[in-house]
């Protein structure tokens, strides 16, 4: 019997992360469900996976703290030996303003914090993944759409996509693939609560006439993580329902 592969999903307790965790588990992957503060939500995801016959464990870590990121990878290695799949899903900071109005603090909170956390986590993944592993970065369509007040946030995602393209070349000799999934709007409680019918307005702009669901994102992530995705690397896969 082939041993289950091991996946680490950051921000795995809700939204895209929880859907990706469930789908990977359905594909016979053992999933480490990372969470920051909501232990109850993470345990719920783990319980649902186990009830479906899958394997999962919750592990707490603040992805914005480099020391905790390293400790998270250490925990995975101590418990499972090695890591096969890393899904960089968690966001650590986001502030929104025009570039002209953005104070230095917004740059530090948004760009430096996000980019540093991505760098530290992607570096650990690159060092530790087994041969033929998968690195998947969850990016955003704001890198394609040039939306006012999203400039700093978009820059953090663009930086992540560029790191992924570079990692594809640096890790390719070991059979490790690295790709970004560039998502459009995905339904969540906070998204649905936006005022003025924002969600409906965005849905009308997509050719498919709807907002993406977390499961839409999870299916793309799971495909890239699977053996079927072995020939795709260094790519930014647009998964925005045709919005961009």
Q: Is the residue at 218 inside a domain?
A: yes
Q: Is the residue at 165 inside a domain?
A: yes
Q: Is the residue at 244 inside a domain?
A: no
Q: Which of 13, 139, 180, 236 is catalytic?
A: 139
Give the pLDDT score at 96.
85
148: containing domain: 6-235
139 is catalytic: yes
Between these two residues, 93 and 236, which has the higher pLDDT value?
Answer: 236
CA angle 220, 225, 226 (to 5 degrees): 100
Q: Which of 13, 18, 86, 153 is catalytic?
A: 153
Give the pLDDT band (50/70/90) at residue 1.
very low
The answer to whether residue 54 scores a pLDDT higher than 70 is yes
Please give the model's pTM, rounded to 2 decimal places.
Answer: 0.94
Choose among 232, 233, 242: nearest CA to 206. 242
Tens-place pLDDT, residues 118-137: 999 999 999 999 999 999 99
Between these two residues, 49 and 149, which has the higher pLDDT value?
Answer: 49
**229-243 as b/e: b if 16+ CB within 10 A:** beeebebbbbbbbeb
What is the full DSSP assignment across 86-112?
EEE----------TTT--HHHHIIIII
44 is catalytic: no
Total structural domains within the chain:
1
What is the full DSSP assignment across 181-220?
EEE--B--HHHHT-GGGHHHHHHHHSTT-SPBPHHHHHHH
Q: Is the residue at 242 inside a domain?
A: no
157 is catalytic: yes
**Average pLDDT in the chain:** 93
Q: Which of 140, 144, 180, 236 is catalytic?
A: 140
Measured between alpha carbons, how far is residue 36 from residues 10, 108, 135, 175 in Å?
9, 21, 21, 31
Tens-place pLDDT, residues 145-167: 888 999 999 999 999 999 999 99
The answer to whether residue 102 scores a pLDDT higher than 70 is yes
The answer to whether residue 94 scores a pLDDT higher than 90 is no
Give the pLDDT score at 204.
85
Q: Is the residue at 1 inside a domain?
A: no
Lowest-confidence range among 16-30, 199-213, 214-228? 199-213
Alpha-carbon distance of 98 to 89, in angstroms, equals: 25
Alpha-carbon distance of 72 to 117, in angstroms, equals: 13
35 is catalytic: no
Q: Which of 13, 18, 144, 157 is catalytic?
A: 157
- What is the rounded average pLDDT of the residues 201-216? 90
Enumerate residues 6+ apart whose C-beta is below 8 A from 78: none
Q: What are phi and psi of 11, to 5 degrees?
A: 60, 40
Q: Is the residue at 120 inside a domain?
A: yes
Give the pLDDT score at 155.
94
């Amino acid at each position: 019997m082939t041993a289950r592969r091991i996946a680490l999903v950051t921000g795995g307790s809700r939204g895209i992360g929880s859907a990706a965790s469930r789908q990977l588990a359905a594909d016979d992957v053992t999933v480490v469900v990372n969470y920051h503060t909501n232990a109850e939500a993470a345990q719920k995801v783990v319980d649902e996976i186990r009830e479906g016959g899958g394997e999962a464990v919750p592990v707490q870590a603040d992805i914005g703290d480099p020391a905790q990121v390293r400790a998270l990878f250490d925990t995975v290695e101590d418990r499972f030996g090695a890591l096969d799949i890393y899904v960089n899903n968690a966001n650590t900071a986001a502030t929104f303003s025009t570039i002209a109005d953005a104070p230095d603090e917004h740059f530090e909170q948004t760009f430096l914090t996000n980019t540093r956390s991505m760098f530290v986590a992607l570096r650990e993944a690159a060092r530790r993944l087994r041969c033929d592993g998968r690195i998947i970065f969850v990016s955003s369509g704001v890198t394609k759409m040039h939306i006012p007040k999203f400039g700093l946030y978009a820059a953090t995602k663009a930086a992540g996509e560029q790191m992924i393209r570079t990692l594809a070349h640096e890790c390719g000799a070991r059979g490790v693939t690295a790709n970004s999934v560039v998502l459009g709007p995905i339904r969540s409680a906070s998204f649905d609560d936006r005022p003025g019918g924002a969600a409906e307005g965005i849905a009308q702009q997509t050719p498919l006439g709807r907002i993406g669901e977390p499961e839409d994102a999870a299916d793309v992530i799971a495909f890239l993580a699977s053996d079927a995705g072995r020939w795709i690397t260094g790519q930014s896969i647009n998964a925005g329902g045709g919005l961009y």
